[in-house]
C-alpha cells in the first residue's frame, strides 16, 4: 500500500507516512521492516511503558492477497517484559483488514490523557473516547466496537484487564481469541491508554503481475492437498502434536524437570477433538484451518478459542495438570483477560516449583498454596495476575523477575527474560541455538528445528535438511542459522509457518506481487539482514554474548523419557550458527565486513 499511519496520542496528530521503496525491498515488511523503522527510535533510555516507546503494527507484502496463509500481522516495540526487542505476531484477519483500509501499518507514539480507541475505515481515521470500554474484557470490547461502528465485520485488536493493568506478559487480542501474545505488547498499548484499534476497508492489495501471482497460488494450493503436515494440522490442529511430543520428550513436564509422565496422554489433541471440539476455525485465506473452537460444560463456556499445543503444554504438562477441560478454561481466561499463555503458564509453573522447594511459602503468597497439579489454583492465579491483585502482582512481572525477586535467578526457564516455549532443546538439539540467539528471547518461531528434524520444516532448497535430532555439531548450528534466516523472511512477508511451499514458489509470488527481482540466494540474505539488524538493536539495548545461553538446568540430561539422557552442546552449536550468520565466534557480534555486506553499516555508530 506504500504508506503507513502515524498517530501521536499525546498531541492527537494523525499523519500518513510513505514507505521508502529501498527499505521495503531490503527489509520486506512485517517485523523485518518494523525493526528498521524502529531502530533509530529505541535506545537504552527508552522506557518500555513510557510515552516515548513506539508501537508499530505492520503487515507484509503478501498479506491480504490470495497467497494461502498470508494473513498475519506483526506488532513490535521495546518489550516491557524483557527490556529488549519486542516482537509479536498474530493471525486472524486484522492484518489483511488493515491493508484493505489503506495502510501497510500503524505507528503509535505518545500517550493519551484518557482511555481511547482508534478506528480506521477506508482511510478515514478517528480517535474515540474509550471510557465505556475500559474494564471490558477482550470479547466484549470487540463486540461493542463493531456495534458502535455498525460494522459487524470490522476487525479489532484490543487489550483486556492485563493490558490495562500493565501486566508485562499482556497480549493484544483480535478476531475473538487470536493473540499477539509474546513480549508484552498488550502492556505497551495499556501504557498509552489505548484500548483498541478497529480496521475496516473495501480496498484491494495491488499486484504488479496478477497473472503470474495467480498461477503460483494455484500451484501451491494444488500441492497443499498432498502436503501431509498441512493435512495433519487441519485434522487435529497443533494439539495433535501432544502424543508425538511426549514420545520425543519434547513436551516439557514438571517445569522441564521430568522426562516422562503417563498422565500426559490425557491432554491429547485426539481426546480434545472427541470430547470438546465444536468446529475448526481459520485465518484469512487459509486452507489448513488449524484453529480450534472448543467448549467446556464444567465451566459453562460454549465457545473457547483453542487451545493450541503451546497452551495445552504450558497449563498442562508443565504444571503437572492432566485435566484437559481445566486447561481449556485456563486458555479461555487468558484470552478474555489478554494474557500470553506461554509466559503466564510458565510463570505459574515456576511458582509451583519454587513453592515445592520451600522458596515460596503461604506467608509470601498471601495464603495461597501453589502446588503442581492444581488447575483451580491456576485459574485463580490467572485472574490475580491479570488484575495485579495480591501475589498476582509479582507473577505479572514474569518468570525472570519472580526468580530474581526471591534470589534464585537460575531457576527461571527464560532466555533474554522471555519464557521458553513448550519445546525442549534436549529433544531437538537444533532448538538450543534457536532459543539462545532469538532476538525477542526464547522463541520457537524464529527457527522451528523440531519441525525440520521430523520433516515438517522449511523446504530443502534452502539447504535446511532434516537430520539427527541429537546431533551436536557446528554443521547443525549452521542449519539452525539458515532456518532462522528463512523464518525471518516468513515473519516479514508475513506468512504462517504451517504453510511450507517450495521456496522458489514463495519467491516467485513475492516478486510477482511487488515487482522486485529477488533471487533465492538474495532472499535468504535478506533474512540474515533482518536477523542481524535485530541483533544489533539488542546490542544497542545492552544485550551481549553472555545472553546467548540456556538455563543450566535445561542443559542437564533427563534420566527418563524420549530425550534418552541427551543434552545439547550449546558451544558447538552456537559456533556453527555464528559462522553461518557471519558473526564473530568469540564476541557473538557481526563483523564490520558482515554489516557492510548486509547494508547495515549504519549500526556501527552504536
Q: How many whole angstroms separate alpha carbon 492 and alpha carbon 25? A: 11
Based on the number of CB atoms within 10 Å of its own CB, is 582 exposed (0-12), middle (13-18) or buried (19 or more)?
Answer: middle
Sign of CA dihedral 504, 97, 116, 146: negative
Q: What is the pLDDT of residues 292-318, one digit of tens each?
A: 999 999 999 999 999 999 999 999 999
Q: Which domains does the chain have, with CATH numbers?
A: 3-200 (3.60.9.10), 237-412 (1.10.569.10), 419-502+537-605 (1.10.599.10)
Q: If you average pLDDT over residues 527-545, what whole number do you get?
A: 98
> How does pLDDT run across 337-346, given as a tens digit for each residue?
999 999 999 9
- pLDDT above 80: residue 236: no
The one-character DSSP state at 589 is P
* Per-residue pLDDT at 125: 98
Closest CA to 69 of 444, 457, 500, 455: 500
Work out the average pLDDT over 489-495: 96
Separation CA 140–CA 527 (nearest Å): 39
Average pLDDT over residues 84-107: 98
User: Is the pLDDT score of 514 beyond 90?
Assistant: yes
In the 3-class helix/strand/coil scheme, how is 241-291 assigned residue by residue? HHHHHHHHCCCCECCCCECCCHHHHHHCHHHHHHHCEEEEECCCCCCCCCE
pLDDT at 351 over 90: yes
Phi then psi dihedrals of residue 47, to 5 deg: -85, 120
Q: Is pLDDT at 569 greater than 90 in this prediction?
A: yes
Could you tell me which of 493, 468, 492, 419 has the C-alpha nearest to residue 568?
A: 468
DSSP letter for 170, please.
Answer: B
Total-model pTM: 0.97
pLDDT-wise least confident of 85-94, 202-211, 219-228, 502-511: 219-228
- How much is the pLDDT for 498? 87
In angstroms, the CA 206 to CA 518 distance is 19
Range of lowest pLDDT (134-148, 216-230, 374-388) = 216-230
Nearest Cα neighbor of 6 from 109, 139, 107 is: 107
Q: What does the pLDDT read at residue 34?
A: 98
402 to 71, 257, 502: CA distances (angstroms): 36, 18, 44
Averaged over 212-228, what is the pLDDT? 92
What is the structure's pLDDT at 334?
98
Which pLDDT belongs to residue 408?
98
Grid cell digits, residue 404? 530474581
Question: Across-strand partners of 61?
Answer: none
Among residues 298, 379, 390, the alpha carbon closest in space to that of 345 is found at: 379
Q: What is the pLDDT of residue 202?
A: 97
Does the structure show a pLDDT above 80 at 102?
yes
Residue 229 has pLDDT above 80, yes or no: no
pLDDT of residue 3: 98
Q: pLDDT tens-digit profile of 385-419?
A: 999 999 999 999 999 999 999 999 999 999 999 99
Q: Give the span between the Cα atoms of 300 and 490, in whole angstroms.
A: 38
- For residues 276 and 326, the answer to whether their CB atoms sit within 8 Å is no
Q: Which of 451, 537, 536 is nearest to 486 (CA)?
A: 451
Report the 10 Å Cβ neighbour count for 426.
Answer: 30
Query: Cα(133)–Cα(120) distance, rounded to whole angstroms?
Result: 18
- At residue 132 the predicted structure's pLDDT band, cuts being 50, 70 and 90, is very high
Mean of pLDDT over the chain: 96
**The pLDDT of residue 493 is above 80:** yes
Task: Provide the pLDDT confidence category of residue 232 given band limits of 50, 70 and 90.
Answer: confident
> How far is Cα 238 from Cα 313, in angstroms, rounded to an integer?
11
Helix, strand, coil % over all residues of the chain, rounded to 5: 45, 15, 40
User: What per-residue confidence (pLDDT) applies to 225?
Assistant: 83
The closest alpha carbon to 166, from 147, 149, 188, belongs to: 188
pLDDT in tens, 162-202: 999 999 999 999 999 999 999 999 999 999 999 999 999 99
Question: For position 564, what pLDDT does the model report?
Answer: 87
As a whole number of angstroms, the distance between CA 340 and CA 324 comes to: 19
Amino acid at each position: 500500500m506504500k504508506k503507513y499511519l502515524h498517530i501521536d496520542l499525546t498531541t492527537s496528530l494523525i499523519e500518513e507516512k510513505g514507505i521508502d521503496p529501498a527499505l521495503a525491498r531490503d527489509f520486506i515488511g512485517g517485523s523485518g521492516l518494523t525493526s528498521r523503522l524502529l531502530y533509530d527510535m529505541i535506545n537504552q533510555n527508552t522506557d518500555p511503558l513510557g510515552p516515548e516507546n513506539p508501537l508499530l503494527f505492520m503487515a507484509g507484502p503478501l498479506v491480504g492477497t490470495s497467497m494461502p496463509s498470508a494473513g498475519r500481522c506483526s506488532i513490535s516495540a521495546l518489550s516491557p517484559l524483557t527490556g529488549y526487542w519486542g516482537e509479536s505476531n498474530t493471525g486472524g484477519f486484522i492484518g489483511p483488514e488493515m491493508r484493505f483500509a489503506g495502510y501497510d501499518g500503524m505507528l503509535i507514539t505518545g500517550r493519551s490523557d484518557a482511555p481511547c480507541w482508534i478506528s480506521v475505515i477506508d482511510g478515514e481515521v478517528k480517535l474515540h473516547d474509550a471510557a465505556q470500554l475500559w474494564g471490558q474484557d477482550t470479547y466484549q470490547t470487540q463486540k461493542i466496537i463493531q456495534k458502535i461502528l455498525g460494522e459487524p465485520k470490522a476487525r479489532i485488536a484490543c487489550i483486556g484487564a492485563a493490558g490495562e493493568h500493565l501486566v508485562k506478559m499482556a497480549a493484544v487480542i483480535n478476531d475473538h481469541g487470536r493473540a499477539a501474545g509474546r513480549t508484552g505488547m498488550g502492556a505497551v498499548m495499556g501504557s498509552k491508554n489505548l484500548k483498541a484499534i478497529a480496521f475496516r476497508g473495501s480496498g484491494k492489495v495491488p499486484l504488479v503481475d496478477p497473472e503470474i501471482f495467480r498461477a503460483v497460488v494455484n500451484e501451491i494450493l494444488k500441492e497443499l492437498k498432498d502436503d501431509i503436515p498441512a493435512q495433519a494440522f487441519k485434522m487435529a490442529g497443533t494439539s495433535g502434536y501432544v502424543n508425538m511430543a511426549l514420545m520425543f520428550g519434547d513436551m516439557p513436564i514438571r517445569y522441564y524437570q521430568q522426562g516422562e509422565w503417563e498422565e500426559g496422554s490425557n491432554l491429547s489433541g485426539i481426546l480434545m477433538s472427541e470430547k470438546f471440539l465444536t468446529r475448526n476455525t481459520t485465518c484469512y485465506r487459509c486452507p489448513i484451518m488449524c484453529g480450534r473452537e472448543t467448549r467446556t460444560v464444567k465451566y459453562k463456556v460454549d465457545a473457547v478459542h483453542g487451545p493450541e499445543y503451546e497452551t495445552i503444554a504450558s497449563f498442562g504438562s508443565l504444571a503437572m495438570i492432566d485435566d484437559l477441560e481445566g486447561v481449556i478454561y485456563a486458555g479461555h481466561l487468558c484470552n478474555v483477560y489478554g494474557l500470553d499463555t506461554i509466559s503466564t503458564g510458565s510463570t505459574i509453573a515456576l511458582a509451583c516449583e519454587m513453592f515445592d522447594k520451600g522458596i515460596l511459602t503461604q506467608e509470601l503468597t498471601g495464603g495461597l498454596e501453589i502446588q503442581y497439579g492444581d488447575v483451580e489454583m491456576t485459574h485463580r492465579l490467572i485472574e490475580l495476575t491479570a488484575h495485579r491483585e495480591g501475589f498476582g502482582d509479582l507473577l505479572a512481572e514474569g518468570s525472570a523477575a519472580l526468580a530474581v525477586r526471591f534470589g534464585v535467578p537460575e531457576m527461571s526457564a527464560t532466555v533474554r527474560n522471555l519464557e521458553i516455549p513448550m519445546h525442549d532443546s534436549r529433544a531437538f538439539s537444533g532448538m538450543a541455538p534457536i532459543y539462545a540467539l532469538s532476538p525477542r528471547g526464547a522463541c520457537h518461531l524464529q527457527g522451528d528445528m523440531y519441525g525440520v528434524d521430523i520433516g515438517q520444516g522449511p523446504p530443502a532448497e534452502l539447504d535446511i535438511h532434516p537430520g539427527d535430532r541429537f546431533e551436536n555439531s557446528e554443521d547443525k548450528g549452521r542449519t539452525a542459522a539458515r532456518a532462522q534466516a528463512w523464518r525471518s523472511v516468513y515473519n516479514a512477508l508475513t506468512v504462517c509457518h504451517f504453510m511450507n511451499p517450495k521456496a522458489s514458489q514463495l519467491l516467485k509470488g513475492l516478486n510477482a506481487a511487488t515487482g522486485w527481482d529477488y533471487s533465492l540466494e538474495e532472499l535468504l540474505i535478506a533474512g540474515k539482514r533482518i536477523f542481524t539488524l535485530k541483533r544489533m538493536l539488542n546490542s544497542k539495548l545492552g544485550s551481549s554474548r553472555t545472553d546467548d545461553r540456556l538455563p543450566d538446568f535445561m542443559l542437564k540430561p533427563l534420566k527418563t523419557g524420549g530425550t534418552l539422557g541427551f543434552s545439547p552442546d550449546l558451544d558447538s552449536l552456537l559456533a556453527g550458527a555464528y559462522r553461518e550468520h557471519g558473526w564473530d565466534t568469540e564476541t557473538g557480534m557481526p563483523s564490520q565486513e558482515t554489516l557492510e555486506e548486509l547494508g547495515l553499516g549504519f549500526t556501527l555508530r552504536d
